[in-house]
A and B are shown apart, each in its own frame.
Chain A
Amino acid sequence: MPTLEARAITKDFAGVRALDCVSLRIESGEIHALCGENGAGKSTLIRVFSGVWRYGTYAGEVVLDGAPIRLDSIRDAELAGIAVIHQELALVPDLSIAENLFLGNERTRRGVLSRREMVELSREQLRQVGLDADPRTRLGDLGGGAQQLVEIAKALLRNARLLILDEPTAALTPSECGRLLDILRRLRERGATIVYISHKLEEVFDIADRVTVLRDGSVVETWPVAELTRDTLIAHMVGRDLDRLYPPRRRVGTADPNGPPPALRVERWSVRSPDGKPLVEDVSFEARYGEVLGVAGLVGAGRTELLMSLFGWRQDEVRGSLRIDGRPSAIKSPRDAIVHGIALVAEDRKRYGVLLDWALDRNISLPSLADLRRWLVIDRARERELADRAVRALDIRASGLDAPVRTLSGGNQQKVVLGKWTSRSPRILLLDEPTRGIDVGAKAEIHALIDRLARDGAAVVMVSSELPEILGMSDRIIVLHRGRLVGSFDEVEGLAQTDVMSLAFQTNGGR
């Protein structure tokens, strides 16, 4: 069984030191967590281990089973038994599970695919990872967690002895996460060695044997997990004490029937996909100024579709009524929504949030160009002023206003998305997973920003899959399950994760 070692690895990118003399040792048969903020060097280290950065493009040595090895390509790493499973899966949705497992590695007999053999072998492999599915199922019909298991099965099929999992649970529901962690424990029992990278510290404590913390390209130290607490681990990652992850809660008086109408009142809201699948059914709720309304639920419960449809993203058929400040409002496009003072920070920032090749200032000004015109021409000076204000207000770290957003870290990209909306002072702010895939430090900053916006009077509706975030940030909570509103909490103080969880899972209702 393998041990993997990094010996004094140093890697530079155009003058920036990404890894600085990193040495660490992964023992055989352990689950070893790598922790660190974005930009700490985790990804670079993995790329060294997996042959993406060729031997010789870095200083130092990779040592497998006590002998230095030379990895010149991903293929070399695979042959050495090292497999990386990324957050974005390398699978083809339109092929079957079996076809995916054998992709690029097909079994043939005299040039003809031997389907039956591959299906049988797949069945065996799926059993190994505890996935109860027919290998002939189309991969795209599986949930995210099951797809992750297929990816692991694929690595095992190629005789991977050392699995490196990079944020494997980022897109999974809590139940899928639980299952994945169970499988990893079972693989460990059978002697597999696993390197585990996750921003979710609960998982690290749940599963890891030892933890190595990276900070600014250097190893802080490696500890057995029992020697760490959540707070000490965060402190090691951040390098300073984060006294609290969540800002102190504000309190808003309960809704006064004679008071002003709520910022947003949604009634009997239903959304159907173009092929008629119900995504959101008959949901009614209200959001008030000065509060954060948390929207909890599993991935696929219709939370994203709810937010997108409120923002006028009409790819789907929408029914129901919407009142803003008590007035019925028809929002037919994002442009309408913006005119009504609504802002949406969408879940997938690279797809929906930013133009990666555009400079920082242009990204921030995009929704505000109409206000920045002098006659027909965009006033560049005012545009840069607007961007500069956002950069300072949100503490966006970039080399300048002209830096392409692609060059920023995930946390700073998310701040750009937030900045583009906060500079419009929206009255209603819809946030979909505002801190997904962001390191702890930036997360706390974004939480503080959301808190500040609510205190300044905005109505915030926040979707999150992280229950601690929902509980830590919300004044009220609604829970969705399979498109329906299944419960709400007007009092969050004293609420436990399990209270929300059991509603989200509808434990008595099947799944």
Chain B
Amino acid sequence: MLRHHLRTYAMVVALVVIWVAFAAMTDGVFLSGRNLANLTRQASVTAILAVGMVLVIVSGNIDLSVGSLSGFLGACMAILHASWGVPATVALAMAVCLGAIIGALHGVLIAYQRVPAFIVTLGGLMVYRGGMLAVTQGETIPLPIGSWMRAIGSGSVPDAAWGLPVPLLCVAVVAGAFLFVSSLTRFGRHVYATGGNAEAAHLSGVNTRGVAFLVFVLMGALSGIAGSVLTARVGSASPEAGRLLELDAIAACVIGGTSLMGGRGGIPGALLGALVMESLNNGMSLANMGVFWQDMVRGGVLVLAVWFDIRVRQRGA
């Protein structure tokens, strides 16, 4: 119980400290309505990936490819839509399907061929980065002006200054669905069992390989959604899109209490974690800190979060 609270407090305190610090550094611009709306839109992409990453990590795996895969899928969607004239909905569906297929490929290699997830997805990270350069040919591909797709990134519901940003609604739908699956269904229970003790789970009739496979399929599909939201928010697909998003997603999970040992974690925590990570990114840009600072802080925060996680668990044990 105490452990639980300690973690929640730490997360809230961290968020407040970050917000107050950036508000001070930016003369309050950080906390302006405009920036907060912007922040939510940015955090949405990380949040969608973090939601899938929770299941990946809980099942005892890791996915390092989600950043470049969502960049790649976002670019594919943009090309289908902008250059080939495919309707936005179809292009989006195709990106999601392609993501699921790539995820299935990861799943086969990891669950059935026993190649460590770390290696499969580290290789994937490079492959999709190359794929992105190939499909974009190194150029930025803008979405057509007035396209329905742009509304996904920049629209609000209702369409007013106080409306909820559409990306936030995407997060709500995705997180709701995954929260349902992870906490109420047999598949969800099996994911936690597989990560908690794969051998005991297998001997209890859990298809542990099937679980790992499906988790990667879902992660791939979510990369399609996240990539499309990313492209829609920026208004274009660039060859650099999605860089280091995997780091933000993994850090969001860990900050939110998902254990890298597998078996423990939850989606609400990961959403808060995504907000923490994106507040850092947004605040540092707003405060005009150099890109090198931003990279160093993001990396440092990841390590710090894991360290904190281990310390808290040790104290509790």
Contacts and interface: CB of A to CB of B under 8 A. Distances in A.
Given A355-B263, A377-B184, A420-B204, A362 B189 contact: yes
B196 A377 contact: no
Interface in A357-396: 357-358, 362, 366-367, 369-370, 373, 376-378
B203 A355 contact: no
Contacts of A334: 202-205
A313 B202 CA distance: 8
Contacts of A356: 197
A18 to B, nearest CB: 17
A386 B193 CA distance: 19
Given A351-B199, A357-B196, A378 B189 contact: yes
Contacts of A351: 197, 199-200
Given A366-B189, A366-B193, A355 B201 contact: yes
B206 interface: yes
Interface in B74-124: none
A341 to B, nearest CB: 12
Interface string B173-202: 000000000001110011011001101111
Interface in A320-375: 333-335, 338, 344, 346, 351-358, 362, 366-367, 369-370, 373
B26 interface: no
B186 A335 contact: no
Kindly state the interface size class of chain A when it binds its partner. Answer: 20 to 34
Contacts of B197: 351, 354-356
Contact of B205 (A335, A357, A376): A335
B41 interface: no
A378 B201 contact: no
A61 B192 CA distance: 45
Contacts of B186: 369-370, 373, 376, 378
Interface residues of B, number: 20
Contact of B201 (A344, A346, A357, A366): A366
A346 B189 contact: no
B129 interface: no
Interface string B244-271: 0000000000000000000110000000
A335 B196 contact: no
Nearest to B209: A333
A196 interface: no
B185 A377 contact: yes
B185 A376 contact: yes
Contact of A344 (B190, B196, B203): B203
Contacts of A333: 202, 207
B207 A335 contact: yes
A339 to B, nearest CB: 8
Contacts of A370: 186
Among A334, A344, A351, A356, chain B packs the most CB atoms within 10 A around the CB of A334
Contacts of A367: 204-205
A-B pairs, top 9 by smallest CB distance, nearest first, are A338-B205, A366-B204, A369-B186, A335-B205, A355-B196, A367-B204, A377-B184, A367-B205, A355-B197
Given A333-B207, A334-B205, A366-B206, 18 more contacts: A313-B202, A334-B204, A335-B206, A338-B205, A351-B197, A351-B200, A352-B200, A357-B196, A357-B264, A358-B196, A366-B189, A369-B186, A370-B186, A373-B186, A376-B184, A376-B186, A378-B186, A420-B204
Interface of B: 184-186, 189-190, 192-193, 196-197, 199-207, 263-264
